[in-house]
Structure 1
Amino acid sequence: MAVCCLAILTTDFINSHWTKNIMSNPDKRPTFVLVHGAWHEPSHFQSVTALLEGAGYKVEGVSLPSVGHLDKDPGNGLEIDSAAVANALSKVINSNRDVVLVAHSYGGIPTSEAAAIVSQEQEKATDPVGRIVKLIYLAAYVPPKGASLVTESAAGQSSTNRQPTVSENGLMAITVENAIHVLYNTTPAALAEEAASKLRPIALSSFVQTTKFCGWADYGISVRYIACKQDKAMPPSLQQDFAARIEATGSASETVWLDSDHSPFLHMPEQVAELLLAAAA
């Protein structure tokens, strides 16, 4: 497996990318669609979003309905999340714009489902439409058909020290203390506390409902995996397994490792933005 380790980066690449794209043909640039993970919301990606927009790209952040929007678990958390991602993708693609699709953590599962749903719609389209030109997993789950976050975590012996609490209504919450310890263990304290304060409960069914498709593998989409060396939420060994799974299909040729916890978009947004811009080029 080809592996790239990213260490110290500057704004030079982003600035040059802005010049290249703003001064050339802005209509040909793909739109970034960002999908957050469990407990999070699009605002957690605000620093990366600002850098991508500063480089001349449009960015759409998907708000997963199973996170922070429910009074009780409807029993189909993954399905409604997948539909939300698919709807966001369809709006972009049906306007004849290409997409770089980015998923973090749990978000990799509904994103994979949505990639399949939209790819099937795309095959039926009679008018010109865009396409998903790149699918990027950032410390994310890469599920096969018929899997769930729970089954994939068990297979990879994923961390159990998050200790989420489940309410009578089937909503899972994580404490600020555990979030800082597991999700933000290399993030500066003030930034970690701010991020943890914005976390919201997620429907339990999002973790246990199984996938219907294998959207990352069955539709000819180019895939890249960005892994995190100091991740306590998703063991690096599990991320390595996901990266190997992708490469085995011939969908990707490179895995990039960041010296980070589970949430590099918080404390190293320039590095993350640079990787996303490179994938979009």
Structure 2
Amino acid sequence: MLEVLRKLWFRDVKEETLFINDVAVRIRAGFLLAIPIFMSFTLYDAIFVSNWVVDGNTAVDSGDIDWDNHIIYHVDATRRVFDYTFQTYVLIYALLEMLSGMFVWSSRLSPIILISSFLARKQKPVWKPLVPKRFAWGLGSSFIIVCLIFFNPEVFAHWVNTVWGSNLLPTTENYMSPYIPLVLVWICLGFMWMETVLGFCVGCKIHSLLVLVGVFKEECEACNNIDWDEIARKNKVRLAEQEAQKKSE
């Protein structure tokens, strides 16, 4: 437990090139998977469910019919008012969680990183470089920021209008299409599912492509991820076999 508290999911916190345990990363992604699932239900309710609440007990036959011979009723209906305070808090936490894993000092502020590192302590670690993960989490952070703007359009509009000194964005209506955060939430859900279940990091693959075209530079992961203990064990076995062969001759 003390080792977990000291290193968390890092191979060595003093390394110049940081490596983290991908087993703990996948466990953490499994915990955080609950957030896009919750947000997908929230956005479905906001976009596809009727904004009107109808009281069926007040329905009164008007005596008229429409063009399709359907009876027209008079009812008492109220328009739903959406309060996204809780969703905002959840997204803020998710944003802080994404950012916290990028550095050693900030990782200690995340309870999920601590729990994930503890759960992965008895499994064989799979060391992966931190830099591609930082890019992936930065991509996820941008998705979260877009969703925060959708849930709080007036706050962002006031901020932008104050900076620009003009009414660039309206403060009485949502200027963002609801399908933008809906698509991003489903993309995020898919990415996190692949990370958790398949161990496939889409953000890391995008980062590797950017390295390939020269946008980023990084060291060779395969060279830095060599299992020297396993190599030493195989060499020891090979030398023992050679020694036994010499004696038999």
> What range describes the TM-score normalised by the shorter chain of this pair?
under 0.3
- Structure number with the higher helix fraction is 2
TM normalised by structure 2 equals 0.25
Q: Larger Cα Rg: Structure 1 or Structure 2?
A: 2
